[in-house]
Amino acid sequence: MAGHLIRRLNQISVSVFADRMKEAGIDLTQVQFGALLALSGNPDIDQATLAGLIAHDRVTMGAVLDRLQNKGLIERRTSPRDRRAKVLKLTAKGAALLERVTPIVWALQTDILAGLDEAERAEMLRLMQKVTDAGNELSRAPLQKPKQAG
């Protein structure tokens, strides 16, 4: 069944990611990596926007951001537009870690899809993208595309 296989593939993905980070001596989860990556391309966004960009619920995102801030990887500042909101930005330490870890994350993608050749991996990714796009609104935390400036 699709749901079981998707859950198993997620377990494999989490395990491979954790193993590679441990081997590299890096304390980082997949969600934390996703948050850092999203912030690198979208500085000064708020927590709710970040949660939408990586398809995570706001409550979970708060705990993730607490950990990243405690590690000195991000900073939170009061928004100049809304004093109730905090805007997020990578620190120099966060940007350096992201630069270090990104090649590791790219390299482990092949391990996550072990057993597939290059063409099959491309096809699987294409089909997974199609399915996740079609089902996005069924999610409790739908992915939200970044808003275009202007």
Instruction: Give yes or no for residue 33 having a pLDDT over 60.
Output: yes
Q: Report d(CA 86, CA 75) in Å as an integer.
A: 9
User: What are the pLDDT digits (tens) for 101-149?
Assistant: 999 999 999 999 999 999 999 999 999 999 998 988 888 887 887 765 4
* Residue extents of the structural domains in the chain: 2-80+100-138
User: What are the pLDDT digits (tens) for 72-86?
Assistant: 999 999 888 888 888
The confidence score (pLDDT) of residue 147 equals: 67
Q: Report d(CA 110, CA 112) in Å as an integer.
A: 5
The confidence score (pLDDT) of residue 149 equals: 47
Q: Which amino acid is at 132?
A: T
How far apart, in Å, are the Cα atoms of 149 and each of 42, 55, 132, 146?
11, 21, 25, 9
CATH 1.10.10.60 fits 2-80+100-138, yes or no: no
The confidence score (pLDDT) of residue 38 equals: 95
The confidence score (pLDDT) of residue 127 equals: 95
Which residues, 6+ apart, have CB-to-CB distance to 14 below 8 Å? 30
The confidence score (pLDDT) of residue 150 equals: 44
The confidence score (pLDDT) of residue 59 equals: 84
Question: For every residue of 42-103, which 3-state class applies, written as one string?
Answer: CCCEEHHHHHHHCCCCHHHHHHHHHHHHHCCCEEEEECCCCCCCEEEEECHHHHHHHHHHHH
Q: DSSP class of residue 76?
A: E
Q: Compute, in degrees rounded to 10, the torsion defined by CA atoms 109, 104, 97, 76.
A: 10
The confidence score (pLDDT) of residue 148 equals: 55
129 token code pair: 């993208």
User: What are the pLDDT digits (tens) for 37-77?
Assistant: 999 999 999 888 999 999 998 888 889 999 999 999 999 99
